[in-house]
Structure 1
Amino acid sequence: MGRPLVFEILEKPATSCFIGICSAIWFYIQKKNIGYSHVGLSYETAIAGHHWRIITSAFSHISILHLVFNMSALWSLGVVEKLGPIGLGMEYYLQYTLVLVVLSGALVLGMYHILIQKFKIEYFRRVTAVGYSCVVFGWMTILSVKQPTSKLHLFGFLSLPISFAPFESLIFTSIIVPQASFIGHLSGIVVGYAIAWGLINGMNNYWAVSMLGWIVLVSVFSLKRSGAYDFSFLEIESVTDPSLPSVRFVGNGRTLQMSALPATGVELV
């Protein structure tokens, strides 16, 4: 007989929270009949200033199968939280999940840019990506380097050696799910190797909280500027140069102004 689920949840609290967040967002998307075009990440929307989509696209899933596949893999990868003795653990997991979400999304856009501008493949201008797979593939890769003897368990019956899991899963998903984003999954793998090999390191609680704060700030401003959400307390108006906006918070008779430099089909991830 296996261990009660509650004990597994207590041993992987961060993983359980992310699964709960993704599941709740999926339920909300279904209930409100929200399409992938409203939350997904594409080159065109990024150029238009919808930078908040890097975050919403990562935590959004459109189909139940897409959600179940990603969350099943994520649950198995939650073993990272229990590997504190080898330098991983829950804090490491939270800190680098944040890095994976942001950098893998940015790398996807970078690859789209090269394919569009260099190779003139216009398809990637409008293709929209949604899903948590970038993060899942990133953790597969990190675990394959840090703990190569581990196994990845999917759906409770499929078991893959973690050392080959990133590329096995990359090929497997590309074959059985035609809409699976090869570029999105590959981006997660690349960022995962960069983290595992120490090319991206130095994250601690201070930098993680600072990074989270900047993510929230940029997301709020991009939501406001793109017109996706109206924050009534926040006004953005141009000054002498239209490319240098003035940002003003209005409330309680106090005003804070600052200037900022301008920010220069569907795929499942």
Structure 2
Amino acid sequence: MHPRRRGNAGLGVFLLGAEVLNMGMSNIPPVTLALVAGQTAIFMGFLPKYFYSAASVCMSTYLVWHRQDFKRLILSQLFHADDMHLYFNMTSLLIKGRSLERRFGSMYFLWMVSVFTALTSVGYVAINLILEDRFHDHSYATQCAVGFSGVLFALKVVTTHYAPPGLHYVMGFIPVPSRWIYWVELLLIQMVTPNASFTGHLAGIIVGLVYVKGPLKPLMDGLIPPGSGQRYRGGGQSSGYRRTGWFSSGGTPGTGNPPPPKYQQYTGGLSEEEQYRRVMEESRWQTQGSYPQPSAPPPPPGLYPDLDELRERRSARYQ
């Protein structure tokens, strides 16, 4: 591979900039925005010492496992081969990052991306190593990949897990159940772009599944709890994950009532508007210093006269 010309923005960078402006920078959580800006800066050639070309950072089983060039496990994920590769990946990151960072908090989302980046790279190398040994095909060892796609597939699994069950429409008209959407996208991308890294995307899906269904989430939560008191305020609305109020037990704040059945299970199914409304209510209550206390409904008119009125009637009767 030849070195990429630095400073050549290309159409993809301009489209990405338009996407960010259209979404509104104030509506993009800070870690997501930093990841997009950082990878764009890398593509534009602002860090030539570490990202001289795709060949200098790409990740393969041969280079990582046999040559022990471990820095490629991280550097390869942050580099993109061309401007449209960058555009599609960063647009996907904007959507997934905005959802997950608001749900878990900025600190935990950064922790999630870091762990997913490392594990996806390790999974890519391991899968290719197994395939090389199984089929005696050395091409698996020399496949050299760059890009954030594997991490995005891991985030896709997490996003789908917390979304309400239903149908997703691939290419706008192919209905696919939500639990299968990332598998269908894996095959579809490989059909449309044969040179895409199938094993890299597969590694991302496996990492995402180990998080939502396996031991990875409890291990990560034990080191950095979700939320960790983080809040993101943007676009005049408050968002984020809190460990108090609505988001701690699922019950009604201040009432002591138990959470409704399966509330925690379906919290991820709330629309963004409902999540914004609840978080804004909680913020207002905390600002006031107390949560609203339950009050008894007013008595029906006419059944319970005012006490002063009763005293006046009694006095008039005995005069």
TM-score with structure 1 length normalisation? 0.65
Equivalent of 2:102 in 82, 98, 122: 82
AA aligned opposite 1:172: L
AA aligned opposite 1:21: G
Which structure would you say has the larger RCO, counting Cα contacts within 8 Å and 6 or more residues apart? 1
Q: Deviations over 1:152-184 (max 9, x none)?
A: 999xxxx99864431232122112212111110
Structure 2 unaligned blocks of 5 or more: 1-20, 226-319
Describe how 1:1-269 pairs up with structure 2 within 5 A: 5-9=24-28, 12-28=29-45, 34-46=52-64, 47-78=66-97, 79-83=99-103, 88-148=104-164, 163-201=179-217, 202-204=219-221
Which structure: larger Rg?
2
Cα distance in 2 for partners of 1:17, 1:161 equals: 32
Q: Give the root-mean-square deviation of aligned CA atoms.
A: 3.3
Deviating beyond 6 angstroms after TM superposition, the runs of 4 or more aligned structure 1 residues are: 29-33, 150-154
Cα distance in 2 for partners of 1:131, 1:77 equals: 16
Cα distance in 2 for partners of 1:58, 1:151 equals: 30
Which 10-residue stretch deviates more, 66-75 or 167-176?
A: 167-176
Structure 1 unaligned blocks of 5 or more: 209-269
Cα distance in 2 for partners of 1:193, 1:184 equals: 15
Cα distance in 1 for partners of 2:83, 2:167 equals: 24
Contact 1:152 1:160 in 2 (8 A): yes
AA aligned opposite 1:51: F
AA aligned opposite 2:87: V
Contact 2:36 2:90 in 1 (8 A): yes
Contact 1:143 1:162 in 2 (8 A): no
Change (3 A) 1:80 1:162: farther
Percentage identity across paired residues of the two chains? 25
TM-score with structure 2 length normalisation? 0.55
SS in 1 for 2:145: strand
Cα distance in 2 for partners of 1:139, 1:13 equals: 17
